[in-house]
């Protein structure tokens, strides 16, 4: 199947030029002025941007959490991602404490296989890692899972202690795998939560008040120190605060190999959301996620970090739960309970919010339209950097000869209002939008995965077809 995208303005993390892009067999074959090739499909991209498909390196599809599951699976979640201009996700598989990580990987392969509309890869969440099982890590890398996530939060659930961190960091460093980290000191936070609950401080706002930014900063600092000793390449996920960012900067000033990811929610929303009226004071539950939304001043710090290369990547941490437990026209009601699990207290609210569909448009609006990021930097933080750090490059993350034709034809003039009621912006299987009412200028028109048009002008063109991508190790290229 061949495809010719004509007359677009091609943007990569570095480049910016007008050309035709010719795709055949799922990869880019030629780029040039007025290409004289024949193609089965021809797209006119005049006046449009032609950009690498988005890579969302942080999603949780079909993930068990606190007695339920996130409401998007690999079918609905990847379709929504595609509508939003994302052509690859890296989802977090989970190793169960005391069990083999390879079992966890198998389970996630089963969740995804045959369902995904776009390509996907897995990180592996490690919950423990005793010496006797540490050889699993190299096997995971051999199987294309070349990154881990560990939690300094959620004691008793996903939490890994410092010894586990050190062991896993050392092995990852030796294997050329990268380490992702949820950096919040969950041990101290649990003590603070205990106090709040004793004092009957149970409303959603207490989710934010019991997770101080200082505890994010502390964990970032600690993880950097351990990674420095262990020789690991560190990637802090969903960085949410200026305090946390300061530690990233100080670590990098010292020369440590650490990078940071943030999410649109920390760039566009703030903790006042938890005080939203409605639903009997429970409305704020929609934004209960960890780390929580922060005071507004943190937003500028994070945007500045993106601009000045202190923050490197933007992911969504997509992890939706229904707010009301009913779904809209035609859809069977969900069998998965949602935010209502936490009616009795903020600490029981499932952590997470939807977002996989909104990332590209939000970042274009807040970054490019509002003048904070160049077009190249927009592409870099939404796609290229993730491809490079996570071993997908050069197959993914760029538009270049030989690369997978994961391409978005992006209309810089199309305006949309993000809403659960706007089917052009909301295909996620969840009954609310975290960004309800946000208006964005610039939206994906056509979304192409390995040369296959998945979405075109707001309608789904293909189902399934996504493949698992075995990722490369640090220092290797994925050809």
Which residues here bind its own copies, judged by CB under 8 A? 10, 12-19, 22, 29-33, 35, 161-163, 165-167, 185, 187-188, 190-192, 212, 214-215, 217-218, 221-222, 225-226, 228-229, 246, 249, 252-253, 255, 304, 308-310, 380, 384, 393-394, 398, 400-403, 477
3-class SS of residue 39? coil
Structure tokens at 150: 């560990």
Asked if the peptide bond before residue 361 counts as cis, ω within 30 degrees of 0, the response is no
Q: Shortest approach of its own copies to residue 14 CB, angstroms? A: 4
Q: Shortest approach of its own copies to residue 380 CB, angstroms? A: 8
Rounded Cα gap, residues 359 and 5, in angstroms: 24
Is 52 within 8 Å of 63 (Cβ atoms)? no
DSSP state letter for 206: H
Interacting residues of 193 by C-beta distance below 8 A, sequence separation 6+: 210, 347
Q: Shortest approach of its own copies to residue 473 CB, angstroms? A: 14
Which residue number, 91 or 136, has a Cβ lying nearer to its own copies? 136
Rounded Cα gap, residues 368 and 376, in angstroms: 9
CA end-to-end span of the chain: 20
Q: Shortest approach of its own copies to residue 186 CB, angstroms? A: 9
Closest C-alpha to 182, from 314, 58, 283: 58
Q: Shortest approach of its own copies to residue 254 CB, angstroms? A: 9
Which residue number, 249 or 470, has a Cβ lying nearer to its own copies? 249
Sign of CA dihedral 56, 61, 66, 71: positive
Rounded Cα gap, residues 91 and 141, in angstroms: 15
Q: Shortest approach of its own copies to residue 113 CB, angstroms? A: 30
3-class SS of residue 307? helix
Rounded Cα gap, residues 171 and 138, in angstroms: 8
Structure tokens at 316: 């969504």
Which residue number, 18 or 331, has a Cβ lying nearer to its own copies? 18
Closest C-alpha to 317, from 361, 270, 265, 271: 265
Which residue number, 12 or 265, has a Cβ lying nearer to its own copies? 12
Q: Shortest approach of its own copies to residue 384 CB, angstroms? A: 6
Structure tokens at 463: 């189902």
Interacting residues of 27 by C-beta distance below 8 A, sequence separation 6+: 402, 403, 404, 405, 450, 451
Which residue number, 343 or 477, has a Cβ lying nearer to its own copies? 477
Which residue number, 110 or 309, has a Cβ lying nearer to its own copies? 309
Q: Shortest approach of its own copies to residue 414 CB, angstroms? A: 23
Structure tokens at 139: 């096997």
Q: Shortest approach of its own copies to residue 246 CB, angstroms? A: 8
Interacting residues of 180 by C-beta distance below 8 A, sequence separation 6+: 58, 123, 147, 148, 149, 150, 235, 236, 237
Rounded Cα gap, residues 237 and 397, in angstroms: 19
Which residue number, 31 or 349, has a Cβ lying nearer to its own copies? 31
Q: Shortest approach of its own copies to residue 152 CB, angstroms? A: 10
Which residue number, 239 or 434, has a Cβ lying nearer to its own copies? 239
């Amino acid at each position: 199947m061949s495809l010719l995208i004509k007359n677009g303005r091609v943007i990569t993390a570095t480049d910016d030029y007008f050309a035709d892009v010719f795709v055949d067999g799922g990869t880019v074959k030629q780029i040039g002025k007025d290409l004289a090739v024949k193609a089965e499909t021809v797209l006119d991209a005049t006046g449009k941007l032609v950009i690498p498909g988005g890579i969302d390196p942080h999603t949780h599809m079909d993930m068990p959490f606190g007695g339920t599951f996130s409401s998007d699976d690999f079918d609905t979640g990847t379709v929504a991602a595609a509508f939003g201009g994302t052509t690859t996700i890296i989802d977090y598989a989970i190793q169960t404490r005391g069990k083999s990580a390879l079992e966890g990987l198998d389970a996630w392969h089963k969740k995804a296989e045959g369902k995904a509309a776009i390509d996907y890869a897995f990180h592996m969440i490690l919950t423990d890692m005793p010496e006797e099982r540490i050889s699993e890590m190299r096997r995971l890398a051999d199987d294309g899972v070349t990154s881990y996530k560990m939690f300094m939060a959620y004691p008793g659930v996903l939490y890994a202690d410092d010894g586990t961190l050190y062991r896993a960091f050392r092995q990852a460093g030796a294997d050329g795998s990268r380490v992702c980290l949820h950096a919040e000191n969950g041990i101290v936070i649990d003590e603070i939560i205990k106090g709040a609950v004793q004092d009957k401080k149970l409303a959603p706002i207490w989710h934010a008040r019991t997770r101080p930014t200082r505890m994010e900063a502390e964990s970032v600092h600690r993880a950097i120190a351990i990674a420095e000793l262990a020789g690991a390449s560190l990637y802090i996920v969903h960085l949410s605060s200026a305090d946390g960012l300061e530690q990233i900067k100080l670590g990098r000033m010292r020369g440590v190999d650490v990078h940071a990811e943030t999410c649109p929610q920390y760039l566009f929303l703030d903790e006042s959301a938890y005080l939203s009226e409605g639903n009997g004071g429970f409305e704020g539950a929609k934004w209960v996620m960890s780390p929580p939304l922060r005071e507004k001043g943190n937003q500028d710090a994070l945007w500045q970090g993106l601009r000045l290369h202190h923050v490197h990547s933007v992911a969504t941490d997509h992890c939706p739960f229904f707010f009301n437990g009913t779904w809209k026209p035609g859809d069977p009601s969900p069998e998965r309970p949602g935010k209502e699990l936490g009616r009795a207290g903020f600490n029981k609210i499932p952590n997470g919010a939807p977002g996989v569909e909104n990332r590209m448009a939000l970042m274009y609006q807040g970054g490019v339209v509002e003048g904070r990021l160049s077009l190249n930097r927009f592409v870099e933080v939404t796609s290229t950097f993730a491809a490079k750090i996570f071993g997908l490059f050069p197959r993914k993350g760029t538009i270049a000869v030989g690369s997978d034709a994961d391409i978005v034809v992006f209309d810089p003039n199309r305006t949309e209002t993000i809403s659960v009621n706007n089917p052009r912006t909301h295909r996620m299987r969840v009954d609310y939008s975290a960004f309800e009412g946000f208006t964005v200028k610039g939206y994906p028109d056509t979304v192409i995965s390995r040369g296959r048009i998945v979405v075109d002008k707001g309608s789904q063109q293909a189902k399934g077809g996504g493949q698992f991508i075995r990722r490369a190790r640090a220092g290797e290229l994925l050809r």
